[in-house]
Amino acid sequence: MTLKLFLLRHGQTDFSRANRFCGEIDPPLNAIGLRMADAMAEKHGADPWTAIYCSPRTRALQTATPLSLAAKVPIQTDDGLREIAYGDWEGLTHDEAVARYPEAYEYWANDPASHGTPGGETAFMVAARATPVIGRLRERYASGRVLVVSHKATLRVIVCSLLGMDVRLFRERIAQPVGALTCFDISGPDARLTLHGDVSHLPADLRVLEGT
């Protein structure tokens, strides 16, 4: 038996459009992000989903809701799927963080996996709460199609974990555009990446956008 685990990053927000640090703050999807959510539902709403799990953040819930309604599968939230917390840098651009916190920025940039932002989390802290969520899903669902809707950094960490990669590589090696879908086929202890960063469900004008 095989579990098809789909990982979906939420749609665009004004903060992702401007490439601002956005973890614990909770902006909604913008108009483009709402279109992305609707496009996901239009493409995959008729698929036989077994379960939908989601970060409790508004932008993730707004992304999951159209698909949930189309598929008639309820959303289950899990706090372990929330985005990495950026502490004092929440809402700042990278240039603003450099200007205000030059030493802290250099420290973080040298190893963003184990060096957190001031008052924020490290990637290892995210791994400690997010990977057990995936572990529970693997135990609960031996087969079927399960969707996880989460955030850029959190999904990068999860992908590293499933691939057996060092979490320190989460920013360097793993991309996860807004609205993009990644899939693993999971059978017992094995997890095989079958799709990564796919945006084919999005309208052509939403597949390549500025921002992150």
Q: Which of 44, 83, 121, 151 is catalytic?
A: 83
Task: Name the one residue in this structure whose structure tokens are 């087969």.
Answer: 143
Rounded to the nearest 10 degrees, what angle do helices 152-163 and 123-140 cross at?
60
- Sequence-distant (≥ 6) Cβ neighbours of residue 205 within 8 angstroms: none
Instruction: For residue 10, indicate whether it is catalytic.
Output: yes
Of the residues 10, 44, 151, 201, only one is catalytic, namely 10
The counts of H helices and E strands in the chain are 8, 6
Annotation marks residue 115 as catalytic: no
Residue type, 21: F
Q: How many CB atoms lie within 10 A of CB 203?
A: 12
**Residues pairing with 184 in the sheet:** 5, 193
Structure-token pair, residue 27:
């902006």
Buried b (16+ CB within 10 A) or exposed e, 60-69: bbbbbbbbbe
158, with CB counted inside 10 A (0-12, 13-18, 19+), is buried
Show which residues are catalytic: 10, 83
